[in-house]
Amino acid sequence: MTRRSPQEALERLLTRQRELAHIGQARSLMAWDLQTMIPPEGVPARARAVATLAAYGHRMLTDPETDADVAVLEEAARDGRLSGPPARMAVVLRREIDRLRKIPEDRYRRFAELTANGEAVWRRARAEDRFADFAPLLEEIVGLLREFVERWGYRGHPYNALLDVYEPGLTVARLDFLFARLEEGLTSLLARIERSGKEIPDAFRGGPFPRAAQEAFLREVLEAIGFSFARGRLDTSAHPFTMGIHPTDVRLTTRYAEDDLAYALYSAVHEGGHAIYEQNLPEELEPYVLMSAASLGVHESQSRFAENVLARSAPFWEYFAPRLVAHFPSLAGRTPEEFFRAANRVARSFIRTEADEVTYNLHVLLRYRLEKDLIAGTLAVRELPEAWRAEMRKLLGIEPPTDREGVLQDVHWSHGMVGYFPSYTLGNVYAAELLEALLRDVPDLWERVRVGDFAPILSWLRERVHTQGNLYDPPELLERATGKAPGPEALLRYLEAKMAEVYGL
């Protein structure tokens, strides 16, 4: 065989990857539609079509030609003849190829079809509070994932193989260390808050708050913090999510409660953080498959930053409280301080997505423990509801009265996402690190927010995170952005400071 030149190999890969990126956009649209628009009986045919597109991607990436071309780039990178995006592209493709070629196409197709059907099954089971209707699907998903993990191989705990999918390099060892420190710090903080005896009224409750007015307010908030409606949409779905089809087409969803303004708002701002990241990904890196987030943990750092650091801050409410009141005259007289404090009420509760910042990571820890045991095979799917209740008692001292408020509350497992939940805690950790760095670079940050000037935040995050796409693995990206390796202490400092303000600790 003639020796391939790196230039030829790169050209061929760019052509193939552009095609794969476009097929990926079709798959993203199909997935968005499955969660928002599809008529109920359309789901099975759609799942088959999604599986076909997935199988096609599998075939393209496991093609020996692709492999040989990537090997040429890898060699050139080792010799120092290749650097920058093409060299990084080889790293990212190599990981993906090695993962895919260990999974036979038909198993991969089956997983794609199963998980495309999954949300509809979960939605019905949750609506009827029947875990038994969801269990067979979840059993097959967990079975396939355990098979994949064995095929991939792993060092240490088998769950490491799944963590690596969402956060390259992340391990159970690192997470155990992180969660141990967080559990200790957060449990102690929670105890101090509860000992303070302070009751904070929920200024967002009451209503009825008509949906159209809520949406108008959300659009105002999302635009202010940097979301472009010329390049995106806001819709509703059972579980809020963001789909970045392309930086010019990014769609987020929320859901509304007519008696609770916080419900739609904080979902939408969380998704808004994801969406702003997606809208600012570097288009020029698309052919290199690097027009994507650095990891899901980094992705969650953007959503948790928007939702918590920004939209649960006092300056945010100084600016937005009068605007909220303008949309809902029945709130007249409520002060920014009241909204700020209501947004930061701490209470043991069942639903992760509505949890306060202090207990939130305990919810994540619960899922992390269950997922590890599911993948290790020491916990069966049918045992999940009881295991959930037991862990909830241990971590938060409460027990959900129904599975809807327990094991059935999250959509992720129905999408086949096991190993994802730790991303939320990583997101919180990274967001706190980013805030400290941001405040060093923009010391008058909060004065700017107070008057509705969100530009300095957006431009700092764009420069340090968004436009970096997938050029670096998360630890390197974070170090470049903040000057140091990320750890749990910044998050604990941030929460201590905020709770001191809210609860006067």
Binding site for a second copy (CB under 8 A): 18-19, 22-23, 25-27, 29-30, 33, 37-42, 44-46, 48-49, 52-53, 56, 228-233, 245-249
The count of other CB atoms within 10 Å of the CB of residue 215 is: 17
> What end-to-end distance do the CA atoms of the chain give, in Å?
72
- Closer by beta carbon to a second copy, 29 or else 121: 29
- Closer by beta carbon to a second copy, 46 or else 372: 46
- Closer by beta carbon to a second copy, 48 or else 94: 48
Question: Least separation, in Å, of the C-beta of 83 and a second copy?
Answer: 28
Question: Least separation, in Å, of the C-beta of 37 and a second copy?
Answer: 7
Return phi, psi of residue 292, to 5°. -150, 170
* CA 391 to chain CA centroid, nearest Å: 23
Question: Least separation, in Å, of the C-beta of 221 and a second copy?
Answer: 18
CA atoms within a 13 Å half-sphere pointing along the CA-CB vector of 246: 17
Question: Least separation, in Å, of the C-beta of 393 and a second copy?
Answer: 41
- Per-residue b/e over 333-368, b at no fewer than 16 CB within 10 Å? ebebebbbbbbbbbbbbbebbbbbbbbbbbbbbbbb
Using CA atoms, how far residue 85 sits from 8, 90, 445, 469, in Å, is: 16, 9, 33, 10
- Closer by beta carbon to a second copy, 202 or else 215: 215
Q: How far apart are CA 6 and CA 444, in angstroms?
A: 48
Q: How far apart are CA 269 and CA 162, in angstroms?
A: 28
Residue 283, annotated as binding a ligand: no
Question: Least separation, in Å, of the C-beta of 41 and a second copy?
Answer: 5
Burial (Cβ within 10 Å: 0-12, 13-18, ≥19) of residue 190: buried
- Closer by beta carbon to a second copy, 133 or else 249: 249
Q: Which of 186, 191, 254, 189 is nearest to 219 (CA)?
A: 254
Positions marked active-site: 271
At a CB cut-off of 8 Å and minimum separation 6, what does 1 contact?
none
Residue 399, annotated as binding a ligand: no
Question: Least separation, in Å, of the C-beta of 275 and a second copy?
Answer: 11
Gyration radius of the chain's alpha carbons:
23
Question: Least separation, in Å, of the C-beta of 6 and a second copy?
Answer: 25
- Closer by beta carbon to a second copy, 20 or else 477: 20
Return phi, psi of residue 234, to 5°. -125, 120
Residue 466, annotated as binding a ligand: no
- Closer by beta carbon to a second copy, 39 or else 64: 39
Handedness of CA 234, 239, 240, 244 (dihedral sign): negative
Amino acid at site 380: A
Return phi, psi of residue 154, to 5°. -165, 160
CA atoms within a 13 Å half-sphere pointing along the CA-CB vector of 54: 24
DSSP state of 307: I
Give pairs for 453-456: CB < 8 Å, separation 24+: 454/224, 454/225, 454/226, 454/310
Instruction: Write out the binding residues for Zn(2+).
Output: 270, 274, 300
Instruction: Write out the binding residues.
Output: 270, 274, 300
